[in-house]
Amino acid sequence: MPQRHPWSSQRWLPFAILAFPAIAFSFLLPYFPIDETRYLSVGWEMWNKGSYIVPLQNGLPYSHKPPLLFWLFNLDWLIFGVNEGTLRFIPLIFSMMNVALVHRIAKRLWQDEQVARYAALVLASMLSYLLWSAVIMFDVVLTLWVLLAVDAVISAVKEQRLLWFMQLGVAIGFGILTKGPVVLVYVLPVALFAPFWAPGERPAGRWYASIGLSLLIGIAVLSFWLVPAALTGGETYRRAILWGQTVNRMANSFAHRRPIWWYLPWIPTLLLPWALFPPAWRAWKRLTADPGSRMVMIWCGVSLVVFSLLSGKQVHYLIPVLPAFSLLMAKSIAQEQGDVARWRLPIAILYLILGAGLLTASFINHGRMLRHFDLTEVRWAAGGLFLLGALLFGLRPRTMPALVTRVAVASLACCALVLIGGQTMFLRYDLHPIAQAIREKQAEGYEVLHVDKYHGQFHFMGRLEHPLVELKGADEVGAYVATHDKVALITYEPDKRRIEPVEYFFRQPFRSKQVVLWNRTGIDRYLKEAGAVRKAAESDE
């Protein structure tokens, strides 16, 4: 009979843990360049131009991502009006649904309420998942469709009804609408290997024919957007969405720009703090016997192998795999018996080391390593991390549910302390002031130029209604300003570079640099210095 603890029966706890970062981010933090501000700008331009089929960036069709997340922004603004405060609750809602689905999948695989509660709590309190649930990205949204597809496959294995294959197809279709065909990397291994992880008397031919039907349903769901988008977006956009995001991207992804082992050191980091929780790993060797464990291992293993083979590696590509790890960890934790108090020590030591390390760094060379942080904030956060580790160290839980709950709640405390320690640094990412300055210049009739690639970081922050002029370098800037009177230029300069007030309309700190909106005098200086650099380079040759 599994041991029970009152806290473990509190099903609201994983959702409460997830809600805190989204609320804190909404009130305390800006949207971070480049990804968050770019995606919000695409949604803003769709809203502003009424282009709800073809996403736009800087006035042009944006083909890098499908439209579902941008539609969600527009739905939010339709309900609440154009605002920034409610947007972070979009990933939060999907994140909470993911936790509920993980709970459901665990119960269906193992018929054990305790395992299901562990799985939900482990996923919600992974530091990586906790932070990503408050960030405007595609991966937490994509995870919902992956989990719905996995849930459909589990149901179809037990009962081959058309309904489950329709659910699988719809989940695949919405997954493609969220982030493209990559959803198949997570879903197809579970579906195609079903005869291996759940052998039965079902005919293999009928099973695979049903999977093919699900793929056709997914394509049909996608077609509701793809066909009108291809017809209205123009030839370049049509080629990009039909080939650039499918065949070309897959072909280029086998170029191995990052080594095949690149994900391996990231996996334990993504699983923190549970990577340091011994019961989450000690029983893995006993998990291979049941179909549920085999399915989850195929989900993790094949997805990791495929992503390791692809060159386009990013850490957040593994977010839809984290639920699979949480299921395996929960199953392993539930099998651990005996004295549990000692298993708190590795995580307690982690927080003690983090607190001590951060505090030490704030004093070395007068905190020079943390020069863009407020050292007082850093020391408060370091002290909090040290206290958190000491509390975990000093309190001895008597049951596994109590221990799991304390580790999960400690993740929330760690997240809060990161917010406190980085508050000043995070504000260096706030582009509202410069975006507002750009808006004012455009309203006065200025053409605002941007050197090199513009990622849309200002459009939503400043509610801009006109595109910026993208130019590739000083020569193009010189040619443009020679034929236009009212121009302003955006560049990103070293933090210590001295710039006189007479040379700019506006400037502000940005990351470890400063972003400058030059006026005509500043543009002349920019062109003069660029010319001097070019001549020096030519003389060296």
pLDDT in tens, the chain (541 residues): 445 555 446 778 889 888 887 788 777 888 988 899 999 999 999 999 999 999 999 999 998 889 999 999 999 999 999 999 899 899 999 999 999 999 999 999 998 888 999 999 999 999 999 889 888 999 999 999 999 999 999 999 888 888 999 999 999 999 999 998 889 999 999 999 988 887 776 667 888 999 999 999 999 999 999 999 888 888 888 887 777 655 555 555 554 578 888 888 899 999 999 999 988 887 777 667 788 888 999 999 999 998 888 877 888 899 999 999 999 999 989 887 777 888 888 999 999 999 988 888 888 877 777 778 888 888 898 888 989 899 988 888 888 888 898 899 888 888 888 888 888 888 889 999 999 999 999 999 999 999 988 999 999 999 999 999 999 888 888 889 889 889 999 999 888 888 889 999 999 998 888 999 999 999 988 888 877 777 776 666 6
Per residue, the 3-state secondary structure of 373-394, as one string, reads: CCHHHHHHHHHHHHHHHHHHHH
Determine whether 387 is exposed, middle or buried from the number of CB atoms within 10 Å of its CB (0-12, 13-18, 19+). middle
Under a CB-based contact definition with an 8 Å cutoff, are residues 78 and 70 in contact? Answer: no
The rounded distance, in Å, linking the Cα atoms of 409 and 416 is 11
Query: Which of 84, 102, 173 shows the shortest CA–CA distance to 319?
Result: 102
Q: What is the largest CA-CA distance in the chain?
A: 82
The rounded distance, in Å, linking the Cα atoms of 491 and 469 is 13
Identify the pLDDT of residue 96. 93
Residue 399 has which token pair?
Answer: 């049951």
Task: Report angle CA 167, 98, 304 to the nearest 5 degrees.
Answer: 85
The rounded distance, in Å, linking the Cα atoms of 146 and 159 is 20
The rounded distance, in Å, linking the Cα atoms of 205 and 211 is 10
Residue 370 has which token pair?
Answer: 């943390």
Residue 192 has which token pair?
Answer: 């195609």
Q: What are phi and psi of 83, to 5 degrees?
A: -155, 170
Q: In DSSP terms, which residues pair with 510 in a beta bridge?
A: 513
Under a CB-based contact definition with an 8 Å cutoff, are residues 488 and 501 in contact? Answer: no
Tokens 């005098």 -> residue: 521
Q: DSSP letter for 168, please.
A: H
Identify the pLDDT of residue 248. 56
The rounded distance, in Å, linking the Cα atoms of 126 and 17 is 10
Identify the pLDDT of residue 1. 46
Residue 71 has which token pair?
Answer: 């539609």
438 cis-preceded (ω within 30 degrees of 0): no
Residue 492 has which token pair?
Answer: 């990103």
Strand-pair category, 469-471 with 447-451: parallel
SS3 content of the chain, % helix, strand, coil (to 5): 70, 5, 25
The answer to pTM > 0.95 is no
Identify the pLDDT of residue 7. 46
The rounded distance, in Å, linking the Cα atoms of 337 and 6 is 18
The length of the chain in residues reads: 541
Q: DSSP letter for 246, please.
A: I
Residue 237 has which token pair?
Answer: 């956009």
Half-sphere exposure (CA, 13 Å, Cβ side) for 34? 4
Tokens 């995606």 -> residue: 39
Residue 128 has which token pair?
Answer: 């990586």
The rounded distance, in Å, linking the Cα atoms of 285 and 362 is 43
Handedness of CA 39, 45, 51, 54 (dihedral sign): negative
